[in-house]
Each structure stands twice: as C-alpha cells, then as structure tokens.
Structure 1
Amino acid sequence: MFAPAMKVYTTQPFQIIYSLLEHEYLGYLFESFVIQVNSKKQLTLQHQNISAKNADEFSARLDETDFQLIKLIDQIQQEAVFKKFAVKKGTLADFFLKTYDPVKGDKLLQENILHYVQTRMAKILTLLQNKMTFIMGKDGEPTWKRIESATEKATVLFHFVRNPDNTHYFPTIKYQGERIDFQYKDAVLVCHEPAWLLLNDTLYSFEKEVDGKKLQPFLNKRFIVVPRNVEDSYYRKFVAPLVEQFDVYARGFLIKSERYTPQPQIVFSELAVAETSVALFTAGGEMLEEEEIVQPSGADKMVFQLNFQYGTYNLPMQDAKKMSVSVEKTSDSYIFHRVHRDLEQERHFVRELASRGLEIRNGKAVLDKASAFSWLNQYAGALEELGFSLKQNQSDKNYFIGETSVNVGINENNDWFDIYGTVRFGPYEIPFIKLRNHILTKRREYKLPNGQIAIIPEEWFTQYLELFAFAEGEDDELKLRKHHLALVSDLQNGNLATVTMTRKLEKLREFETVEDKPLPEGFKGELRPYQKAGYNWLHFVQDYHFGGCLADDMGLGKTVQTLAMLQHRKENGAQSASLLVMPTSLIYNWLAEAQKFTPHLRILVYTGTYRTKNVSQFKHYDVVLTSYGIVRLDSELLQKYYFDYIILDESQAIKNPNSNTSEAIRELKSKHRLILTGTPVENSIMDLWSQMSFINPGLLGTQAFFKKEFLKPIEKLKDEHKTKRLHALIKPFILRRHKSQVARELPEKIEQITYCKMTEEQEHAYEETKSFYRNKILKTIEEQGAAKSQFMLLQGLMKLRQIANHPRMADPSYEAESGKLGEVMRLTKTVVSKGHKVLIFSQFVKHLDIVRTSLDERKIKYAYLDGSTKDRQAQVNTFQNDPNLPVFLISLKAGGVGLNLTAADYVFILDPWWNPAVEAQAVDRAHRIGQQNTVFTYKFITKNSVEEKILALQDKKLQLVSDLISTDEAVIKNLTKEDIESLLS
C-alpha cells in the first residue's frame, strides 16, 4: 500500500511534476504535484498536490508555464467540472452517476463536458514539452512511470484500397520519416480534439491536427471494410473531407490535383428564410441576433455570398481551406478532384470589398435592402473591372442594378409652386410623381416596365419626403403652396431641385429686415418699439399672403398690435369685415381696447342668445367679435361670408384638430388668417399642427404624416434633428417674443384690466340680489335720507361684490361656475407654464379659499398668507426661494404692505378696492428694489357688475379717493344719490 501524501517543505529542494490518470467519466486527465527531492537529487515519496490555491508557496521553483499548467489542470478536476456544469443542487457523486447513466444519461451534457475537458487537455499537452511527466500508478503514486513528449509532430497517411467487393481503409503513422507500429501495442489516445497518442511511453501529436476519432478504431484493428453497397455515400461524406485535409493514398480510384486562378463572384439574394447564425454577419462585422436572421419571405435585408470560380468549380468563400475536393463517379470507379485554392488571392479580393464598405465574414455579408442596392449601384462597374462577377439568386425577384438619378424642377406659378421631374433607372425614365406613394409609405421597390425591380435609394426618402407630404395634386400635377418657400429653398440649396421664381419671392428669401409700415391715422396711442416691429411683421405675412401666428408672451400687447393692423385694413379699403374669435371671457377686453386705441373701427359683438343670425349685417362693420362656441353653433351660417381676416385669440382653443370647434373654424373662408397665443404648445406639439394648419393649410402635412415624422420622433425619441426641422418649417410664420427679450422696451409696471363675463347662473344670482337691495335702499333714501341707508348699502354692495367674484362666497350651496374664477385659472395656468411667478391678491379670504381649491385640483403649488397666518416670513421665504412654487395667495389687508416678493413678475388683483392706493401697495410687493423684471398687473373685473361701477367711481373721484379715503365706510359717506343709483343700475 502506497503511503499517503505528505507535506512538501519549501525550505528543502522539491520538483513539480505532472501525472496522467484515467477518470471513470472524464477520460484521461492530468494532476499536478510537488515532490520532495533528496540530497542525491532523486524524487522521494514525499509529495502533495499543487493548485492555484497553494502555487505561490512553491513559486521559487515554478516558471510561467507551470502556472499556466496548474491553472488549466485545476479547471479539469472533477470538482471544477461539477461546479461548472451542475445546475441542480446535489452531491458530486450524484451528478456524475446521473449524467453518465448508461440508459438515462444526459448525452448532450456529456458532449459539452467532453469538449470542455478535451480543449484544456490539448493546451496542457502542448505546454508539457520539457516538463517532468508521469503516468499515475493504480495506487495513486504520481511518479509511477515516466513518459516523454515527442520533439516533433508525427504524420498520418490515410490508405484507401478499392477492391472488387469492398474498400479497405486504414491509417499509417510516421515519425521523423520512419513508420511507427501502433496497432495492438496498448497505445491510447489521451486526447481526441486534436489527437494525442501515448505509445511506448511517448506522447505524440500530429500535423494537420488529426481528430482522434479517426485513429481510435485502428488501435486494435488492422483496417475497416467498407461494403460496395455504401461506397458512394462513404466516398462523398467521409473520404472527400479526408482528401481535403490530410494526406491520402488511393489504390483502385484516382485523386487528381488541379490548380486554377480564382475568379471572384458575388451572389446576392433576399434574406428570406432562416439562415445558420454562424454564417451571417452584418456589414460592420457584428453577428446578427437570431431574431434578425429568421425573417419572413420578402424580408428587408439582402445577403451577399462571396464565391470563387476555380476552373469549372464554384467554391464558397466560407469554406476557405487550402483544398476543395469534389467527387466524380466514372463508369467503373471514382475521381477525386483536389483543387488547390489560392487563399492569399482570395483574401486580396475580400480586402477589395472591405475597402468599398462590404465586410465579408464567413463568406457572407448582410445589408438592409436599400443600403445593399445603393452599394451595388455605386460599385458594380468598378468591381467588374477588378474581375468580380455579380449574380442574382435565380429564385429571387429580378432586381435592377445600374445607374440611378433624379432630376426635379420647381417653378413659381401664381399662388403655387409647380413641381415636375423625372427619375432615371438605367434606360428608363419615370415621372417623378410616380414615386410619391412609394416615398410616403417608404416602399423601396419600384417595378420597371421590363418587370425588373428597382430599389429607390435610401437618401430619397429623406430628401423628398416632405416635398411629397406637403404637395397637393394628383396624376401628373404636383403643387406646393407658397408658404412652403423654406422647403423649396432647402431643396435648391441642397442641389436637390432646380428652382425658378419671381423677383418678389426671391426678395423674400433674401430679406433680412421687415419693411417699416406707418401706423394708421385712426390709431390712438403709441406702440412700443417691439410692438411696432410686430405690427410691421403682420404686414409682412399679409403682403405675401401667408398666415401668421403672433405668439408674444402674455402682457406684451398682442391685442393692440392686432387692432393697429385692423385699423390699417379699414383705412386701406378692406372689402369685407374681419372676424375675431376668442373665449367668451375676452370679448369685453377686446371691446374696451378697441374703444381706447381704434375708436373708429365699427365693431359688432356677435354673441348671446338673441344675436341676429344674418351675415348680411357684417358689411356694415369692420370687425365682428364672437366666441369659439358661437362659431361652432353658427358654422354653416358663417361659412357663407368671405371675411377679410379671420383672427383667433387664445388659438390653443383649436389645439385638438378633431374637435367640433377646430373643424368649424377650418371651414370658414377669408383672405387672410392670423392666430394670437401666448402658449402655442400646451400639451403636445400636435397643438402646433392644428393651429399652423389653420393659418397655412398643408404646411406640416397631414395629421398622420405629422405624428409619424415629427410628433413621435420629437416627443418620444427626443430627436434633435426633427426638432430643428420643425422649427425651420414654422419659423417664418411665427413671431414670438418673450418678456425677457423686450425687457428694455417695457416700462417698469404694466397694468391691464381683464373683463370677465358672468356665467348664466352667476348672472341670475347677481340680478336677483341687485334687485332686492336696489329697491330696499332707494326706498330708504327716499323716506329717511342717504345717511340712514349707509349700512344697508354697505351690506348690499358687499353681497354684489362677492357674487361678482363667485356666488359661493354669498351662498355656500351654490354649485355652478364663476366666470371670473375660470379666467383667473386660465391666466394662472398660462403664466405658470412659462416659468413665471404670480401674486394673487383678494380682499376676501373666502375668495382665496375658492382659488386654493381650484389650484389644488390642478396640482399647482402655492404659498398662502392671510391675517391668521402665524409665520408670515416662512411663507415669503418659501415663495422667494423655491422655483417649484409659482403662486402666492395673499389677503390684500394682510399682505398689502411690509412684504418683499421680488420673485414674482405677475400680480393678479381679483377684486377692485375702493382706494387704488391700496392696490398700488399690493403691486409694490413685487415691484420694488431687487426686481429685475417688468411687473405685469392684471385687474379682474366682472362685466356688468358693481366692480365696473367702482372703477368708474375711482376715475371720477380719483383725487378725493387717493388723498382721503381708505375704508369702504369712508367711500360710502361720500356717495351721492346719483352715485348709488349708478352702482345699483
């Protein structure tokens, strides 16, 4: 019995050795050991295993090869194999017993393990040259028998002797030119992939890396007999590959060596069915994923197969071996044609293709169809000069390969651009318009008159997509509207079209500044410089018959710029009235502004239940004011009138292109179109499509086209190129100035009154309350004098002011809407969406509570301050410093003085104070030292209410009020009977 392993001391001499053993399941393996060496330099029985875990202890006598060997040997030990391949929990013994069970064993797993072990054994055997190597004894002794590695590689010659009845097959082995007798000599193959033969204590490897399975049968057998009835199959499937790879001696049939100059051939076909994944690579050399390879018939990729013609033999490049063998059966025997391949010349042709952008891997390349034919059209001629032949797979469509060109012309013609052009595919000329549906639907295949399929170049889909998408007309006519001038210019600048246009339009393309226009004589007031520029711009788009979008920030005066332009139309002989469409709440604001700046404009307010539904009346007016709701209701009637201008204020009202309102608006007829909005895009850029399509129909193509080409790329994919492209298309028709851009031209404070129309329910509540108090107060004045009515008057005015704000302030059971609250929320949303901050003042805490509820519903954050607020400064600091808190609700009495709120640049005063000085103090919370921006103040006044009367009294008694009056009671004491009647009228 051999003694157990003992510890080897590093302080004494030792030797690393490698010991070959046979494992029950894994075949031949090596283990590594260190052996203690005695004073006579002999190996002793004292030894221990060495692995990566303890190798460093013995590093003094190990070289780099030893470390490599130890690492590889560790990987093939049964514990390492178990750890790598065991999926389920269990013991090592169970794993091997189940895996290698003769009946139920896992054959696939056995193959995988065998390949894993064999590849590492091959590396180990190669590294063992000049290393001390042994066969392990049956008792585990690592140094039982010394073996050596042959210094040179052996050769194998395979013999085939064809007899009348059969073929004998056997190999012979030579080493250093001498034949080795290996049969029946207890030789073993310690590795099969490739073969390593242990014979007479020597390890042999072989030239041409012979597979060990080809030698294994002959270790104990002289030859194999192949019966005549399976001869043909055997010769083709087994003998031919052997002839390609190894030295073969034949008797009874002929092996003929042949040499030719290779001629390269490219065969292209659709990637229509599953192809083996190992053979398919992209043009960039990356392997295709499985889902990219398995594609249905008509797939949008092409496969290029590189073959080489050697004489009459067509050999695929992927087989790139030194020899290619084909079998020819003669009348009484076989001829094996052994073609010598010129691999260097083949690689030269592969490099030629690579230099032209086609990377061949494993004999193939895969390109998408458009790129494939673009490549063919570009290089076909040059490749043929280099000796390449190009062929199509006969089972595929007959594709056109040849010169492809396009020639497009664009001529200005009255209100349109006429588009004409031809496309050339080789000898065929096709009208440009014939490609329209193909370009729009991205169909690349175009059928030529001779039945061939031409592939439309990929770049045309980008270059001419917008042209076809925006063009109108059918058959042979294709037209673009004038507002697509930017697109026409882009085509011309990119040498994609030849353009002819009038001098006027050429001038438009070259313009740098908009022409200055004088203000109309009937305009009362002055325009700030940026407003005058806006007025000039409105003339600019009008002169060229373009629709325009005036998209200045809220508060910059879109109304006054538009009114100046409408006054100019009146003075210059406009043939019909202009229609101004807006939210109902804005009608009175427009009316008030028109009376102030353009008092000579004849204005019809076309609203209300009792409006006269007859368009003939419009001829007596310059401007018709109406609401979106009325247009929707009176759509058919309004379509009968041809307006000079149709102008949409707050044009985001038509942001939904499929709404009834949008559809009704688009049906109206006019000479000019204009939209006004501070927020052209609220939710999605589809808002923009709807509005721009109203002012310039067709500018952005159809809804479907816009969604596909702009909406999805911009909003979902964040495509910067598409964003810039969209901006370029709409830029000529939008004038947008932010407050920050024109700050120097603005006064420090801008005040504006916003009139709010009561809802029907609100109006009913107001009129009922007004009648009650009016009768009661006037009767008291008549009977007891004005002094006795003061308390009742205060009480009545308070109720009316509350109802003018929101009836719920006077009656908690009121459930309907308030016109003022709707307008306040609309403007708050607009201001906040643009990143501004706003102070909202009311003298009624109840009113602030209602506004709070509305802000909560809209998820708009706010700070709050009234008389009961404990930590006022904390609310101020939060508002001043938090960029995500845009609104501050403040009770006028609690916050009118003593606060510094310079973070805000908008102030909303929800209800008029008797004394304007108190309002001014509120505005000064924002407009004070430290404020960098112009402050915009909006006073919300409910139309046809006591609030309007209070404004009128402020103007009438301004001096008295500002000097003396600070309370409601003080104001009441100074009211005459006529004043009271006016307030309650």
Structure 2
Amino acid sequence: MDADTRLQLRLPDGRLILMPVQRLRPILSTLIELYDPEGPLGGQQGSKGRLRLSRVHAAQLAELEAADPALRWRGGESVREWGRRLRDFQGLEPIAPPAGLTVELRPYQRQGLDWLQFLRAYGLGGVLADDMGLGKTVQTLAHLLIEKESERADRPSLVVAPTSLLFNWRREAERFVPALRVLSLHGAARHARFASIPEHDLVLTTYPLLPRDLEALAACEFHLLILDEAQNIKNPRSKAAQAARALNARHRLCLTGTPMENHLGELWSLLDFLMPELLGDERRFRRLFRVPIERYGDEVRQDELRRRVAPFLLRRTKEAVASELPPKSEIIREVPLADDQRDLYETLRLALHEKVREEVARKGLARSGIIILDALLKLRQVCCDPRLVSLESARRVKGSAKLDLLMTLLPDLLAEGRRVLLFSQFTSMLALIEEKLMNNGLRQDEDFVKLTGRTRNRDRPVDRFQAGEVPLFLISLKAGGTGLNLTAADTVIHYDPWWNPAAERQATDRAHRIGQDKPVFVYKLLTEGTVEQRVADLQARKQALADAMLAGGGAASGVLSPADLDLLFAPLSED
C-alpha cells in the first residue's frame, strides 16, 4: 500500500476520518507484533484486551511515542517511562572504575564499562562487540570487579571461552584484577574442583567442556554468565548453545567481534540466549525479520530490527576509536599445549636436558653452545607444531595448540577487515599454516600471499598486499624481516617468539613505520609454561641472552648461566 494512501476510519460517534497510511503503519506494525499469538507474548493478554509486556518490549511503546508525538496515551506510565529510558540508553551515567583495577582504562573502555553497568542495573543482557584488540576482556573484568567491590556479586561469575583463550583470561585476571579469586576448570583434575566453585569470584571453562560438565555447572547459581567469542553458539542447536541456555545466572553477557558473519539467524541466536523474549522464537524471527530483510531487502524491517537491538549491542571499530589508541599495541596470547603435544614436549625435554647436562659436564658450559641451541630448537618446534620435529613419534601427535589458537584469531581479524602480516622463523611452519588455511577454504594468491627465501618474484606478493588485493601475508623471518614497506597492514602476528628482540622489532616495523596512518596491533603467540614463555621472561632481565640466541653457539653459551639453563629446561607446570 502506497505511503500517501488515506484510509477511512470510523470514530465511536459514527463519523469518518481519513488517516494517512504512513502515520498508521508504525502503530499497526508494533501492535500486530505485540498481539501476535505466535510471539513471545502470545497467551499473555489479560482481560478487556489488556496486554502484559516484558521490560524489553517497553521500548517498542517508546518507539510509538517517538514516531507520533501527537498520540495520546492513557495508562502504563511507568512502563512507558522505562521504555523511554531504554530507548535513550546512550545517555549513560559515568561509573568510576573499580579501586582494585591495576590498569587505566581508555575513554572508550570506560564508556563500555558504563554500558555494562547500565545493563546490570536494568537486568538486561547485551553483546559487547568491539573489534579484536580493543579490550573486551579488560572491560568485562573491570565490570566483574565493580560487582565484587559493591558486594552485589554474592556468588561466582562464569566465563565460557574457546580452549585457546582460557589461559588468556586467567593471565589478564591476575594482571588487572588480582582481587578476584579465579578458578580454572580445565584438564582431568577439574572434577575435584567443582566443590570449590562457590568459594571463587570467577570460574573459567570452555565450550567443549561445557556440555560434559553441565550437571555440575547447572547446579550452581552464577552472578554473571559470560560467553567469550560468543559466535560459538551461533548454531542454537549445538551442544554448547543448548548447555549455555541451561545455566542459571542473574545476568548474561556475550563478547564477540563478529556478532553476525553469514546471516541474521546468528545474531538472533546470541540475543535469544541473552533475552529470549526480545525477538521471539526462531520461526517468528524468520517470518518477521529474516525473510523480509534478507530475501526482499525490506528497509523498514531492517531499521526496526536495528533499533530493537541497539540498546543491547555495543560495537566500536578500531577506526572509530583510532584517536584513543597508541600507534602500536602489543598483545600477548598464551595457550597451553594440547595433551599429546604436552607429552611429546616433556619426553623430549627430559631426554634433551640430560644430553645437555652430559655435554656441559664433559666440555664445560662455554663450549656447549651448539648442542644447547639444538636442544632448544627442538623444544621450540614442538611448541609451534609437533610436525616440525624430525622424529617418527612427533609425526603421530595430532594436537597443535598454537595452530588452533591462530585459527581462532585469524577468521575474526579477517572478518573485521584487518590487513594481517603473519611472521614465522620456520618456512616449514608457514607451509603447515598455508595447508590449514586452504583446508578452511582460503585460496593462495586470492585470499593470502606468501614470501619465503624460495619466492622468485618478491615484488608481486608485496605489491598485491599493498594494493589491497589480499588481506593476509605469510612471511618468513629471513625473507621479509627487513627491507620491506608494508604500511597497508594494521595487524602483525608473530607466530613464534623471536629471541632477538631487535629482529622482532624490525619485522613489526614492516607495518609500523613512516607512512602508516593507522594504529598497529601486534600479537605474540606463546605456549604456556614452555621454553617460549621462559625465554620471553628472560628477555626482560637478560637482553644479551636474546641477542645471542641467533648469534651462534659460542655466543649463547657465553651469556647463559647454569641457572638460566635449568630454567629453560624446567618441566611444564601442572596447573
């Protein structure tokens, strides 16, 4: 029906008036949806045509008021006032960061904290959808600490995260909110820790373990239930999604840089987990929104959906907050070794450490540098991927925790439009990454390019990346660590740690250099409790060690002390 069409309406006294369709459409659309018998409010109509509304639907009444200020309303003043406040949620009350927070929040992060507190005050759920690297974790931890310091959190909160990010949550909680008592439910020993859940402020688990541990977790009552990388429940029929919906919590929160990747149903799944009454069931959402928007391009429905979810979704892109970001942000991501990978590491470590001790006893530390470096190289290769190690037993190991972590990070970064440089010292590791990318549907020369010492035409992949034709550039240390100008990149990933920090800085400076007009995010991937992490710790105290690692055996042994050697070959932590 044309917007200029006028309808005849009969008044109670019998008179007829002409009413423009354009004025009636938003009113009828909202009322039809609210009274829809298949909707979430179906069957909740009281006597005399009255309707009981949930709080999230009060915003729809506020939308009607805003659409036509001339309308006269009778009754429902409190729910309409609540709806107006919800619709105008941008006017947030500034909240002071918690006293125990050990890091200063950037302005946009403080606004995020204000928004999280707004949701809590109104008893609402929400999706914090900031770009990767903007600090969703630290904003959430600050929110949790406020709840503890205000004594509202009289029970633990639960974070569900991908396995590869569990250690990152634990480490950031230790650094930024040390007052929170954190319990990690991971590994075979986790069952013995279930009884101590009520004694902690923050409990960490993973999506694969959630369905297996559901009986124990569903018996607990949580203050906040937080899903990190919440796109993991985009399929509402998955075991993880069903288990998450079965948990008991006062408040629910989703964290994801990609709330919708392929279709609107993924966004519905997140919001259905948070507040099932907001968008109705899946069939109704498809009828009212997905089909009109995706199939017919209905802009009215699209705008209505956008306004409906706006109060419950906060997204800031790196471009939007660029003025608040430093020129270069370094982010360390640590991940524990996979089970069989861990066994291989420990087996090799014991054998290699014994071999090194025998060599040092026979020749002395100063003359044992070559065998020390060879032993450390093998342990580093296990950390990157067991297939790098030239042993038959290593080829049988299936787990590669760091490669899994990379494959968790990369899709989100690319979905956000990031331009990524991925560095590794091992060309064989780049080949394994390339194979994994292609198995995931990415195409060489179309979705990514590679530069190693064997690349004949170096200019071609560089030019294609700089021209914006491909978003991902795989580069080996020797081939591309120096001399390249890659200012099209805004993200650098160091797959394996470079024990010479100067060389690492040179690689990072392929992107972070004169001519770069965007903030650069630098990700360093480390395996927890291994030689990688210990060398990184030693770098801070002993710069000469890092410089010597790439300078040859004699130089390395000249700066290594027996205590350093014991540290590098120390066993993995049992935690």
Classify the TM-score, shorter chain.
Answer: 0.7 to 0.9
- Is 1:539 paired with 2:109? no
8 Å contact 1:762–1:807 — kept in the other structure?
yes
Question: Is 1:467 paired with 2:34?
Answer: yes
**1:974 corresponds to:** 559
Separation (CA, whole Å) in 2 of partners of 1:752 and 1:971:
28
Counterpart of 2:502, as a letter, is: A
The offset of 1:465, in angstroms, is 3.3
TM-superposed CA distance for 1:672, in Å, is 1.2
Distance 1:462 1:475 in 2: 18
Is structure 2 residue 441 aligned with structure 1 residue 859?
yes
Amino acid at match of 1:854: K
2:523 equivalent among 938, 945, 951: 938
Tell me the SS of whatever aligns to 1:520.
coil
Q: For 2:88 and 2:258, how far apart are their aligned partners in 1?
A: 29
Residues 481, 913 of structure 1: alpha-carbon distance in 2 compared, 3 angstrom cutoff: same
SS of structure 2 residue aligned to 1:610: helix
Shift of 1:778: 2.3
What is the aligned partner in structure 2 of residue 880 from structure 1? Answer: 466
Contact 1:864 1:890 in 2 (8 A): yes
Other-structure match for 2:535? 950
* Correspondence for 2:281 among 702, 724, 744: 702
* CA deviations over 1:220-264 (Å, ceiling 9, x no partner): xxxxxxxxxxxxxxxxxxxxxxxxxxxxxxxxxxxxxxxxxxxxx
Q: CA shift at 1:760, angstroms? A: 2.0
RMSD: 2.7
Query: For residue 388 of structure 2, what is the aligned residue in structure 1?
Result: 809
User: Which segment drifts farther, 779-788 or 863-872?
Assistant: 779-788
Describe the shift of the 1:902–1:981 C-alpha distance in structure 2 as closer, same or farther (beyond 3 A).
Answer: same
Q: CA separation of 1:979/1:496 partners in 2, compared to 1, >3 Å: closer, same or farther?
A: farther
SS of residue paired to 2:53: strand
The Cα of 1:867 is off from its aligned counterpart by: 1.6
Counterpart of 1:491, as a letter, is: L
Aligned pairs for 1:43-54 within 5 A: none
Q: Aligned equivalents of 2:43 and 2:537: distance in 1?
A: 59
Give 1:514's aligned residue: 92
**Displacement of 1:938 after TM fit?**
0.4
Deviation at 1:462, TM superposition (A): 2.6
Conservation of the 8 A alpha-carbon contact between 2:45 and 2:52: no
> What is the distance in 1 between the residues matched to 2:547 and 2:371?
26
CA offset at residue 758 of structure 1?
A: 2.2
Letter in 2 for 1:921: Q
Q: Relative to 1, partners in 2 of residues 1:510 and 1:762: Cα closer, same or farther, differing over 3 Å?
A: closer
1:550 aligned partner = 128
Residue among 858, 862, 871 paired with 2:457: 871
* 8 A Cα contact 1:582 1:650, kept in partner: yes
Aligned counterpart for 1:838 among listed residues 412, 420, 431 = 420
Q: Which of 488, 492, 495 is the aligned partner of 1:907? A: 492
Corresponding residue to 1:916 among 501, 504, 507: 501
Contact 1:914 1:950 in 2 (8 A): yes
For 1:90-105, list aligned pairs within 5 A. Answer: none
TM-superposed CA distance for 1:874, in Å, is: 2.1
Query: Aligned pair in 2 of structure 1 residues 967, 634: CA closer, same or farther (>3 Å)?
Result: same
Q: Shift in Å at residue 793 of structure 1?
A: 1.9
Specify the structure having the higher radius of gyration (Cα): 1
Confirm or deny: 8 A CA contact 1:762 1:818 kept in the other structure.
Answer: yes
Aligned to 1:439: none
Q: Does residue 667 in structure 1 map to residue 246 in structure 2?
A: yes
> Partner amino acid for 1:967?
A
Gaps of 5+ in 1: 1-282, 285-355, 358-373, 383-401, 406-456
- Work out the CA distance in 1 between the residues paired with 2:453 and 2:168: 33
Q: CA deviation at 1:511?
A: 5.2
- How far apart in 2 are the matches of 1:887 and 1:901? 12
Q: Which residue of 1 aligns with 2:335?
A: 756
1:777-824 residue CA offsets vs partner (Å, 9 max, x unmatched): 223334443234432222221111111111111148446241111111
Distance 2:487 2:412 in 1: 20
Q: Tell me if structure 2 keeps the 8 A contact 1:645–1:674.
A: yes
Q: CA deviation at 1:737?
A: 0.1
**When you count helix as a share of all residues, which structure comes out higher?**
2
Maintained 8 Å contact 2:100/2:145: yes
Partner of 2:573: none
Change (3 A) 1:792 1:962: closer
Aligned AA (1:648): L
Query: How many angstroms apart in 2 are the aligned matches of 1:930 and 1:636?
Result: 56
Q: Give the aligned residue type for 2:350.
A: S
Compared with structure 1, are the counterparts of its residues 726 and 790 closer, same or farther at alpha carbon in structure 2 (3 Å cutoff)? same
Amino acid at match of 2:339: E
Are 2:350 and 1:766 aligned? no
Q: Using the alignment, how far apart are the partners of 2:408 and 2:274 within structure 1?
A: 24
CA distance in 1, matches of 2:9, 2:59: 34
TM-score (norm. length: structure 2): 0.88
Q: Secondary structure in 2 aligned to 1:524? A: coil
Residue equivalent to 1:309: none
1:449-488 to structure 2, matched below 5 A, reads 462-468=29-35, 469-471=39-41, 473-474=43-44, 476=46, 478-488=51-61
Q: For 2:547 and 2:218, how far apart are their aligned partners in 1? A: 55
Q: Secondary structure at the match of 2:522?
A: strand
Q: SS in structure 1 opposite 2:321?
A: helix
The amino acid of 2:144's aligned partner reads: L
Q: Measure the CA separation in 2 of the matches of 1:928 and 1:817.
A: 37
Q: Which residue of 1 aligns with 2:107?
A: 529
Q: Is the 8 Å Cα contact of residues 841 and 908 (structure 1) preserved in structure 2?
A: yes
Aligned to 1:501: 78
Note the alpha carbon deviations across 1:300-357, whole angstroms, 9 max, x for none. xxxxxxxxxxxxxxxxxxxxxxxxxxxxxxxxxxxxxxxxxxxxxxxxxxxxxxxx99
Relative contact order higher in (CA < 8 Å, ≥ 6 apart): 2
Q: Kindly tell me: are residues 377 and 504 of structure 1, through their superposed partners in 2, closer, same or farther at Cα, counting changes over 3 Å?
A: closer
Q: Secondary structure at the match of 1:900?
A: coil
CA contact (8 A) 2:155 2:223 kept: yes
1:490 paired with 2:63, answer yes
Summarize the Cα distance change of 1:375–1:509 in structure 2 as closer, same or farther, 3 Å threshold: closer
Residue 527 of structure 1 aligns to a residue whose secondary structure is coil
Q: 1:685 to 1:496 in 2, by over 3 A?
A: farther
Q: Distance in 2 between matches of 1:580 and 1:872?
A: 45
Q: Which amino acid aligns with 2:31?
A: Y
Could you list the per-position Cα deviations for residues 656-715 of structure 1 after superposition, in whole angstroms to 9, with x for gaps in the alignment?
111111111011111111111111112221111111112222211101111121122222
Q: Secondary structure at the match of 1:604?
A: strand
Q: Secondary structure at the match of 2:144?
A: helix
Tell me the alpha carbon deviations over residues 154-202 of structure 1, each in whole angstroms, 9 at most, x when there is no partner: xxxxxxxxxxxxxxxxxxxxxxxxxxxxxxxxxxxxxxxxxxxxxxxxx
Distance 1:933 1:968 in 2: 37
Structure 2 regions of 5+ residues with no counterpart? Answer: 571-575
1:644 to partner: Cα distance: 0.8
- Secondary structure of the corresponding residue to residue 740 of structure 1: coil
CA distance in 2, matches of 1:920, 1:976: 26
CA distance in 1, matches of 2:426, 2:557: 19
Contact 2:59–2:83 (Cα < 8 Å) also in 1 = no
Deviations 1:279-299 (A, max 9, x none): xxxx99xxxxxxxxxxxxxxx
- Are the counterparts in 2 of residues 577 and 624 from structure 1 also a CA contact under 8 Å? yes
| Structural mapping, 1:439-458, within 5 Å | none
**Superposition deviation, residue 537 in structure 1:** 1.2
The Cα shift of 1:946 comes to 1.3
Matched residue pairs, number?
541
Q: Aligned equivalents of 1:561 and 1:586: distance in 2? A: 16
Q: What letter is aligned with 1:805?
A: C
1:783/1:742 Cα in 2 relative to 1: closer, same or farther (>3 Å)? same
Q: Is the 8 Å Cα contact of residues 499 and 546 (structure 2) preserved in structure 1?
A: no
Tell me the amino acid that sits aligned with residue 128 of structure 2.
L
Q: Note if 1:778 corresponds to 2:348.
A: no
Equivalent residue letter for 2:551:
T
Kept in 2: contact 1:914–1:967 (CA 8 A)? no
TM superposition shift of 1:912: 0.4
Q: Is the 8 A contact 1:914 1:968 kept in 2?
A: no
1:622 is aligned with what amino acid?
D
Residue 730 of structure 1 corresponds to 309
CA distance in 2, matches of 1:763, 1:740: 40
